[in-house]
């Protein structure tokens, strides 16, 4: 059985930091046309307690259930998207790839909720294509677009 040692914890924490940084840079690039400010980067919390089983993301940032991510044998998505070739589940023994996929999933939630709130603050967004996309629905069209961008750019080449 795989053991989570101090070196695994250190490597995982560093991977979270660098992956979040790179994925946020991708989301903020002008050619991706997402209404995120240049400094947008959500708060990230890594929970190593075995009590935290589920990761989540939203307007207040992302929380990663690190032990659960690392110990899972495969990456399984919600049934509605698990078979999708871009954002679906996959098999891997490498916890680093699973961790990157979870980060992408949760960052998509955080970015989508930011955009949804920004539409209320900035009515001009309603006149763009973003005004017609539902970013707040969990696993809806807006979230899927963001998640697909992150998965295709940062994860799928490793699976």
State pTM to two decimals.
0.95
Neighbours of 24 (CB within 10 A): 18
- Residue 1 is assigned to a structural domain of this protein: no
Give the count of domains, the chain.
Answer: 1
Res 132: pLDDT: 79
Query: Helix (H, G, I), strand (E, B), or coil: what is residue 120?
Result: helix
Query: Helix (H, G, I), strand (E, B), or coil: what is residue 106?
Result: helix
Mean pLDDT by 10 residues, the chain (159 residues): 90 98 95 87 95 94 97 92 96 96 98 88 76 85 96 97
Identify the domain containing residue 122 by its residue range: 6-158
Q: How far apart are CA 60 and CA 19, in angstroms?
A: 18
- Residue 143 is assigned to a structural domain of this protein: yes
Strand partners, 147: none
């Amino acid at each position: 059985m795989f053991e989570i040692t101090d070196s695994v914890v250190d490597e995982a924490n560093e991977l979270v930091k660098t992956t979040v940084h790179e994925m946020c840079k991708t989301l903020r690039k002008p050619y991706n046309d997402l209404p995120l400010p240049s400094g947008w980067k959500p708060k990230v919390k890594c929970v190593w307690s075995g009590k935290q089983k589920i990761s989540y993301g939203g307007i207040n940032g992302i929380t990663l259930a690190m032990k659960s991510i690392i110990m899972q044998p495969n990456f399984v998505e919600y049934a509605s998207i698990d078979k999708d070739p871009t954002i679906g589940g996959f098999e891997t023994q490498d916890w680093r790839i699973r961790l990157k996929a979870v980060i992408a999933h949760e960052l998509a939630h955080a970015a989508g909720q930011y955009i949804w709130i920004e539409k209320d603050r900035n009515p001009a967004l309603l006149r763009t294509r973003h005004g017609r996309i539902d970013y707040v629905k969990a696993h809806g069209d807006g979230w899927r677009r963001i998640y697909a961008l992150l998965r295709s750019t940062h994860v799928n080449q490793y699976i």
